[in-house]
């Protein structure tokens, strides 16, 4: 069964929702293997990494996902309207928006969103909001364990908690339900910095749990799930792995990507031609033929998210045969060398299998996250549905306790 969004198209982008469901269940099984009380969230920020937040989130809810992470207040509102009242929605970007003079935090209350607070000023503002509403709305404390991107320093947080003092009227409305941090090198399992961050996070736990003994804990992203039980805590937050990205590319224990392929992209051939030795291709004459070649120009370029850095470096597939990009990628088109094909193609596949997402990202000198989130809006999108079976993974999916 499938359904299509009929829009003007330069190609067909196929998104396998059952594969996303399988990937979440697979990760959740790992998390719950040694801790039955642990859980697995889903990061669906940036329109579910460009794949469509509505179909993706609904597919995940149907197999038991109850915790979602987005980036902005607007994303949180959109997701709440899609999912209804039950799932928890955490906003990673915090309360940077939504506190205008006209509506001081009202949107956060209306849509029941849980902000990630990453500075003392954010904490202060959230406490003030709770005081004004006379309600202890939930929030997340984010501590910096060494990545130095976002987060309260552990010492700064400890001083703040001790200074304010739990139990005082001002602090009694402060309701952090989750303590989190973020791993910088989780995709490198032998990197010592993973252990350093773990120790720093454990230090933060000791300080915070003295005042909030029931607070839940979260450290691991997609790759962190594979670092072992000590990194799992109460809630893991996979993102790219849900969408087929390889979270274990640098793990010696894994010979291939354990995640199922989610995305396929088929680009139509606009024109075929032959060129002679010495003739060039594309802007800037960056490719010159050394022999007689057959070329196929497809509809799709950097305006559609095919990064220009793949010029003369990237490749695609046709009938199982690898075909390289030749010349510079243009806004609406690019050219492939199809000399080795026995039959001239009518379309070319950019993602042939689940390893292509990461290897193509390597060719572009970027990461799979950027490839996915750049996929353009001109593609016709086809969503393949079908509920993945939790039983096939030997696990039961149950709602999170209230």
- Catalytic positions are 45, 283
232 closest CA partner among 208, 190, 188, 201: 201
What number of other Cβ atoms are within 10 A of residue 10's Cβ?
22
> What are the DSSP calls for 75-110, one per residue?
HHHHHHHHH-SSSEEEETTTTSSSB-SSSBSHHHHH
Tell me the residue ranges of DSSP E strands in 192-258.
Answer: 216-218, 235-236
Which candidate, 197, 346, 352, 359, places its Cα nearest to that of 272?
Answer: 346
Closest to 14 measured CA to CA, from 261, 256, 247: 261
Separation CA 378–CA 397 (nearest Å): 36
Q: Are 77 and 97 in contact (CB under 8 A)?
A: no
Specify whether the CB–CB gap between 106 and 77 falls below 8 A. no
CA distance 48 to 146: 27
Among 289, 303, 368, 297, which residue's Cα sits nearest to residue 335? 297
Taking the chain, what is the end-to-end CA distance rounded to the nearest angstrom?
34
- Rounded CA-CA distance 337/350 in Å is 14
Q: How far apart are CA 181 and CA 197, in angstroms?
A: 9
Chain CA centroid to CA 83, Å: 18
Distance CA 318, CA 50 (A): 24
Q: What whole-number distance in Å separates Cα of residue 108 and Cα of residue 138?
A: 10
- Of 251, 248, 247, the C-alpha closest to 190 is 251
């Amino acid at each position: 069964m499938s359904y299509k969004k009929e829009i003007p198209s330069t190609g067909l982008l196929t998104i396998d929702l059952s594969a996303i469901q399988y990937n979440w269940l697979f990760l959740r099984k790992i998390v719950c293997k040694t801790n039955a009380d642990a859980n697995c969230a889903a990061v669906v920020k940036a329109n579910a990494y460009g794949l469509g937040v509505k179909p993706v989130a609904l597919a995940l809810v149907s197999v038991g996902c109850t915790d979602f992470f987005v980036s902005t207040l607007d994303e949180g509102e959109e997701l709440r309207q899609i999912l209804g009242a039950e799932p928890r929605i955490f906003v990673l970007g915090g309360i940077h928006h939504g506190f205008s003079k006209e509506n001081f935090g009202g949107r956060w209350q209306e849509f029941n969103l849980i902000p990630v607070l990453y500075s003392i000023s954010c904490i202060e503002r959230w406490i003030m909001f709770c005081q004004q509403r006379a309600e202890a709305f939930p929030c997340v404390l984010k501590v910096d364990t060494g990545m130095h991107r976002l987060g309260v320093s552990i010492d700064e947080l400890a001083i703040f908690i001790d200074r304010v003092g739990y139990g005082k009227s001002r602090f009694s409305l402060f309701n952090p339900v989750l303590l989190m941090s973020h791993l910088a090198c989780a995709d490198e399992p032998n990197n010592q910095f993973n252990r350093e961050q773990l120790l720093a996070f454990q230090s933060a736990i000791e300080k915070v749990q003295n005042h909030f003994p029931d607070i839940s804990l979260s450290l691991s992203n997609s790759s962190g799930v594979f670092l072992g039980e000590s990194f799992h805590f109460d809630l893991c937050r996979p993102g790219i792995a849900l969408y087929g990205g390889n979270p274990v590319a640098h793990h010696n224990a894994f010979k291939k990507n354990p995640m199922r392929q989610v995305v396929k992209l088929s680009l139509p051939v606009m024109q075929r031609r032959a060129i002679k030795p010495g003739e060039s291709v594309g802007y800037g004459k960056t490719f010159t033929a050394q022999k007689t070649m057959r070329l196929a120009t497809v509809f799709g370029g950097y305006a559609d998210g095919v990064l220009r850095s793949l010029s003369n470096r990237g490749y695609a597939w046709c009938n199982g045969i690898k075909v390289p990009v030749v010349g510079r990628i243009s806004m609406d088109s690019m050219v492939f060398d199809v000399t080795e094909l026995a039959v001239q193609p009518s379309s070319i596949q950019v993602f042939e299998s689940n390893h292509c997402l990461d290897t193509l990202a390597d060719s572009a000198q970027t990461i799979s996250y950027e490839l996915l989130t750049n996929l353009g809006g001109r593609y016709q999108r086809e969503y393949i549905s079908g509920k993945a079976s939790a039983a096939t993974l030997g696990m039961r999916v149950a709602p999170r306790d209230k």
